[in-house]
Amino acid sequence: MRQARGKAESRQFTSRLLLRIGICIAGVVLFSQLTLLGIKQFLSEIYTYESKLKINTPAAYEAEPALLKAIKYNPHNGYAHYFLGAFYQRQGRLDEAKRELLRALQTMAHPATPLRLLAENAYSRHAYDEAVRYFLSSLAMNPKPKHTASLDWYLFAKACAVAGNIPQAITALKTAQRYGASQSDLHLVLGDYYLQLGNSALALFEYLTDYLRHPEDEAAFARLIKFGEKTGDYTRALAFFKRHYDAGQLLPDGVAFLGLLHYLRKDYSRALELLNEAITRNPKEARNYYLRGEVYRALGNTEQMRENYQTYLRLAPAAPERVYIEQDLK
């Protein structure tokens, strides 16, 4: 019996010893794995930081291999995926950019930034409905990004418009204005959106606002012409410009535009008076000679028409109407 008891105790001792050895080995292996994991994560962060310093410099091409190494050491490094996606986006590698940004979206704690870049990526790929969804998600999480609030809302508006959601586009543009949007075409774009909704009064207000802020802008001038052609409604524009003319607030281009409005209403004598005034105040503006030539054409005064056309071509030798005017002058 004593011998049997001794064998049992020996087996128990051996079992406990093996268990302790096993626990020690497991601890060493676990410690080694954790140490290796920590080293890999550390190296991943180092490569990510290194690439971040290069991505906006002439050495940006060196960012890609550094980011690939960062992802190799830590596939869950969301910032590495984000920076790699941003790099691919700038390179025009849109599909690769989307892949990396989606991975960043799954691993980053604050996904508003990759969502914004995904929206730009979708817009570049002409996937406008997708762009709207990403912009909406990004702006819902952070409606006023620190440095890009007005630009984000402006791009969101563009995406909404192309996707066919004009009311949402107008709301987004108004928000962009509130955040200080400085895009030169903002009022023109708003005017276009209002016109698409059939609100000619608000469209005209935006076009006139833009024209008075940028009287030298050909696009603003052209929008007002097209507005009249499309709606046939020059009354509001005429009253608006006449009020400013009577108050002495119109620049020479504004005076010329008032003359154009009278020309479009077939009031040729008043149109001629205003164009003469505009040319007297600014004799170097080529467009006004062309407009005055058109008035003389309507009046049947061929000699004066030819003289104004020739002056126009001399001041604007690259004018797109040159071929047609030269045919008239033959």
Mean pLDDT of 210-238: 69
The pLDDT, as a whole number, for residue 272 is 94
Rounded CA-CA distance 97/113 in Å is 14
pLDDT tens string 152-162: 888 888 888 88
Q: φ and ψ at 288, to 5 degrees?
A: -65, -30
60 — pLDDT class (breaks 50, 70, 90): low
* pLDDT above 70 (res 66): yes
CATH topology of domain 42-109: 1.25.40
The pLDDT, as a whole number, for residue 16 is 64
* pLDDT above 70 (res 317): yes
The pLDDT, as a whole number, for residue 110 is 78
List the one residue out of 108, 110, 105 whose CA is nearest residue 122.
105
Rounded CA-CA distance 265/260 in Å is 9
Mean pLDDT of 259-268: 85
The pLDDT, as a whole number, for residue 134 is 87
Q: Which of 25-34, 203-212, 244-253 holds the top average pLDDT?
A: 244-253
Rounded CA-CA distance 22/18 in Å is 6
* pLDDT above 70 (res 92): yes
- Asked whether 51 and 63 are in contact (CB, 8 A), the reply is yes
CATH number of 234-330: 1.25.40.10
Neighbours of 8 (CB within 10 A): 9
Instruction: Name the 3-class secondary structure at 156.
Output: helix
Please give the torsion angle defined by the CA atoms of residues 256, 258, 260 and 261, in that order, rounded to the nearest 10 degrees.
Answer: 170
The pLDDT, as a whole number, for residue 41 is 62
Q: Is the full-model pTM beyond 0.85?
A: no
Q: Please report which residue ranges of 197-267 form alpha helices under DSSP H.
A: 200-213, 218-231, 235-246, 252-264
As given in the structure block, the two tokens for residue 47 are 């490569």
HSE on the CB side for 31, CA within 13 Å?
Answer: 6
pLDDT tens string 102-136: 888 888 877 888 888 888 889 888 888 888 888 88
292 — pLDDT class (breaks 50, 70, 90): very high
As given in the structure block, the two tokens for residue 17 are 């010893």
The pLDDT, as a whole number, for residue 39 is 59
Q: What proportions of the chain, in percent to the nearest 5, are helix, strand and coil?
A: 80, 0, 20
The pLDDT, as a whole number, for residue 85 is 84
The pLDDT, as a whole number, for residue 9 is 59
Mean pLDDT of 198-202: 78
Name residue 240's amino acid. F
| Cα-Cα end-to-end distance for the chain | 134
Mean pLDDT of 69-75: 77
Domain 234-330 in the same topology as domain 126-181: yes
Going 79 to 80 to 85 to 89, the CA torsion angle's sign is positive
Instruction: Name the 3-class secondary structure at 217.
Output: coil
* pLDDT above 90 (res 296): yes
Q: Poorest-confidence range of 117-131, 224-238, 239-253, 265-279?
A: 224-238
Based on its alpha-carbon atoms, the radius of gyration of the chain, rounded to whole angstroms, reads 35
Share of the chain above pLDDT 70, in %: 75
Domain ranges of the chain: 42-109, 126-181, 184-233, 234-330
Average pLDDT, the chain: 79
CATH superfamily of 126-181: Tetratricopeptide repeat domain (1.25.40.10)
* pLDDT above 90 (res 276): yes
- Asked whether 272 and 294 are in contact (CB, 8 A), the reply is no
The pLDDT, as a whole number, for residue 301 is 92
